[in-house]
Amino acid sequence: MALTHPDVPHHVAIVMDGNGRWATRRFLPRIAGHKQGVDSLNRCVRACLERNIGVLTVFAFSSENWNRPPEEVSGLMELLALSLSREVPRLNAQGVRIHFVGDRQRLSERVQAGLLQAELSTAGNHRLIFNVCFNYGGRWDIAQAAQKLASRGEAITELSLDRAMALAHVPDPDLLIRTGGELRISNFLLWQVAYSELHFSSKLWPDFDDAALDEAIAFFNTRERRFGQTSAQVNAPDKKPNARIA
């Protein structure tokens, strides 16, 4: 997909952290924070469309989130099912193509069917690719890619692994944002963030608004992306760096 605005990152990835604290500070159950998180995500999708961002990838449920209290896990599963029925028609109308990224086997058959239906019904859209990582972990992704190659008897190389990863349908993220003040990756996109710019926001995810997104984009625009080259090389008029394995 061609970049129409070279000053915006093409692919933005987000660790949406801070829903629990947002709720706890208001003496609400944690799931109220996740519900507010869905509203924030809707706003963020709209903001990405308005800014001509090509790909948005979000971390909605990690491989490790199964270890949370059972009521929070079941609340998140219900929220996913509810969001599928409520949000997919809106995403479709906005020209958003949705992909669910992660291990679906542990999800209920009803949810699995809903994910597939959402993907099929938005498959013809091109304005924004929206990857929702659910039951996803960066280590899981590397392992499943290696297993796929091994089962086919293919050699494991950087290129073959890259093509077998769950996010092979999009280029690597240009900008990774984490909200909630923590300064870590937490098993998100381990393979793909090799050359992403990292922006950490102290805002809790439900409070992450258009201004906060613009702040992250402004930060991105201050960075010189060298991909292992020197500054002189990347600023030479005829040479552009290329981080993506061709």
| 63 counts as binding ligand FPP under rule CB under 6 A | no
DSSP secondary structure letters along the chain: ---S-TTS-SEEEEE---HHHHHHTTT--HHHHHHHHHHHHHHHHHHHHHTT--EEEEEEEEGGGGGS-HHHHHHHHHHHHHHHHHHHHHHHHTTEEEEEES--TTS-HHHHHHHHHHHHHTTT--SEEEEEEEEE-HHHHHHHHHHHHHHTT----HHHHHHHSTTTTSPPPSEEEE-SS----TTSSTTTTTT-EEEE--S-GGG--HHHHHHHHHHHHH----TTS-HHHHHSTT-----S--
| 37 counts as binding ligand FPP under rule CB under 6 A | yes
Site string for ligand FPP, 171-190 (x = CB under 6 A): ---------x----------
Looking at beta carbons only, is 19 or 164 nearer to ligand FPP? 19
Looking at beta carbons only, is 16 or 170 nearer to ligand FPP? 16
| 205 counts as binding ligand FPP under rule CB under 6 A | yes
Q: How far is the CB of 110 from ligand FPP (least distance, A)?
A: 14
* Contact between 99 and 128 (Cβ < 8 Å): no
CA distance 141 to 197: 21
| 73 counts as binding ligand FPP under rule CB under 6 A | no
Pick one of 8, 14, 31, 41: the residue that binds ligand FPP (CB under 6 A): 41
Catalytic member of 7, 19, 42, 65: 65
Considering only 13-21, 107-115, 118-126, 213-221, which stretch makes contact with ligand FPP by CB under 6 A?
13-21
Pick one of 63, 83, 135, 196: the residue that binds ligand FPP (CB under 6 A): 83
**Size of site (CB under 6 A) for ligand FPP:** 18
Q: How far is the CB of 215 from ligand FPP (least distance, A)?
A: 19
Active site residue 141: no
Pick one of 32, 38, 48, 133: the residue that binds ligand FPP (CB under 6 A): 38
Active site residue 17: yes
| Residues catalogued as catalytic | 17, 65
